[in-house]
Amino acid sequence: MITKMISTEIKESSKEAPNYGADYKMVKIVKAILVANGMESGKPSVDLQLVDKNGNKYIAMLSGELYKSVAIILENSPILK
């Protein structure tokens, strides 16, 4: 299941950022793997390899377009400069 769209919010400070409760588990991104022809359309995808504090492994799969759009938001947002 590859994520193709997400909702994006920009917060000016950590005070405005969500306070995640016990329903959320922290994971560390171990590696990002760029797959040139990862999508059925032949477009790229990005696999994020994740691990939690207990060593459990997870993967998040994103379309290359989604990954690129987050980078564009980071680059162009006046709040983030």
- Give the domain ranges of the chain: 27-76
pLDDT value of residue 55 = 97
What is the sign, positive or negative, of the torsion defined by CA atoms of 77, 43, 32, 59? positive
pLDDT value of residue 45 = 92
- Give the separation between CA 40 and CA 42, rounded to whole angstroms: 5
Q: Is the pTM of this model over 0.85?
A: no
- Give the separation between CA 8 and CA 25, rounded to whole angstroms: 20
Q: How many residues does the chain have?
A: 81
Q: Which residues of 48-63 are buried (b: 16+ CB within 10 A; e: fewer)?
A: bebeeeeeeeeeebbb
